[in-house]
């Protein structure tokens, strides 16, 4: 689960080219806060997100997505929660690229969190990968800045395992029943004890020819996109026609992404 909550009102900016500091500052000024919010005590260790961003730029990583949550609290706009997604210069373009995801705030509403991610260009989907293996959190105490930099490198080191897992998924061919099992688990996760408005077959329907394969990676991507994008026709609990909603909330989409990754990894181990 994310260390911070982002509503659907969050301000976002996504680009096909690296974002400049000026572009980022227009949507996420809290990334450039010069100090912690005045509500923080002397024990609170300020972690300047811009310093971490510049350190990662020095390692060849560039930001392509920036987000800051909206707030109605006076004086918190320059300190509220924010998120960056970065890619390495060697992987800016391609079918899939690994990302490092940074989350932070300067008003005590979240710890510093770093996650491993992947961006798939064919459908413009950003997925969050793994369970807790690539998840690093740093509390705003002590020598926090140094811990954050070390944590960033820990997530980067996890990327090799991400590549290996992804390639392994591509090599695993699934039977129709195994594909439906993954779709069923995804539906159960999202709607819990309520009847799902759509069937497993709807969740498995490809939106483009590239995803028609029976391999686990293609199946994962079909389920992931249909669950997140929504728009599928189905029936509600009263039997009336309905469409599934897009999962716009950052928290909910990240949780779904990570759950699907873990489910797919478990299925890979079971059928290999």
Which pLDDT tens digits describe the chain residue by residue (272 residues)? 333 344 445 577 888 889 999 999 998 888 887 655 455 556 556 677 888 888 888 878 899 888 887 655 555 555 577 888 888 777 666 677 778 888 877 655 566 777 777 776 545 555 555 554 456 666 655 565 666 667 777 777 777 777 888 889 999 999 999 999 999 999 999 998 889 999 999 999 998 888 889 999 999 989 988 998 899 999 998 899 999 998 866 567 778 888 888 899 899 999 97
**CA pair distance 195, 197, nearest whole angstrom:** 6
Helix (H, G, I), strand (E, B) or coil at 188: helix
Q: Which residue has the tokens 């997530």?
A: 155
Residue 93 has which token pair? 């373009």
Residues 225 and 123: beta-carbon distance below 8 Å: yes
Residue 115 has which token pair? 């996650």
Residues 6+ apart with CB under 8 A from 249: 6, 7, 8
Q: Within a 10 A sphere around the Cβ of 179, how many other Cβ atoms?
A: 23
Q: Within a 10 A sphere around the Cβ of 212, how many other Cβ atoms?
A: 9
Helix (H, G, I), strand (E, B) or coil at 207: coil
Among residues 97, 96, 105, 102, the alpha carbon closest in space to that of 30 is found at: 105
Q: Within a 10 A sphere around the Cβ of 131, how many other Cβ atoms?
A: 11
What would the DSSP string read from start to end of 3-69?
A: SS---TT-EEEE-SSPPPHHHHHHH-GGGG-SS--TTS-TT-----HHHHHHHHHHTTEEEEEEEE-
The alpha-carbon radius of gyration of the chain (Å, integer) is: 19
Residues 244 and 234: beta-carbon distance below 8 Å: yes
What pLDDT, on the 0 to 100 scale, is given for residue 261?
A: 85
């Amino acid at each position: 689960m994310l260390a911070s909550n982002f509503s659907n009102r969050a301000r976002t900016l996504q680009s096909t080219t690296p974002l400049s500091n000026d572009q980022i500052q227009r949507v996420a000024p809290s990334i450039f806060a010069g100090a912690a919010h005045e509500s923080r005590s002397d024990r609170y260790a300020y972690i300047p997100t811009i310093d971490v961003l510049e350190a990662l730029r020095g390692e060849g990583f560039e930001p392509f997505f920036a987000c800051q949550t909206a707030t109605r609290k006076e004086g918190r706009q320059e300190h509220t929660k924010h998120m960056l997604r970065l890619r390495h210069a060697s992987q800016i373009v391609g079918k899939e690229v690994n990302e490092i995801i940074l989350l932070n705030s300067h008003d005590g509403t979240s710890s510093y969190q770093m996650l491993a991610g992947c961006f798939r260009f064919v459908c413009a989907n950003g997925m969050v990968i793994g369970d807790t293996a690539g998840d690093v959190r740093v509390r705003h105490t002590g020598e926090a800045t140094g811990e954050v930099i070390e944590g960033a490198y820990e997530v980067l080191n996890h990327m090799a395992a991400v590549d290996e897992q992804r390639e392994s998924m591509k090599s695993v061919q699934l039977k129709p029943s195994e594909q439906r099992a993954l779709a069923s688990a995804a539906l159960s996760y999202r709607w819990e004890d309520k009847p799902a408005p759509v069937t497993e077959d709807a969740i498995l329907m490809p939106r483009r020819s590239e995803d028609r394969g029976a391999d686990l990676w293609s199946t994962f991507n079909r389920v992931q996109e249909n669950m997140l994008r929504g728009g599928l026709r189905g029936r509600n609990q009263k039997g009336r026609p309905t469409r599934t909603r897009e999962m716009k909330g950052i928290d909910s989409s990240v949780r779904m992404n990570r759950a699907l990754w873990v489910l797919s990894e478990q299925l890979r181990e079971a059928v290999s």
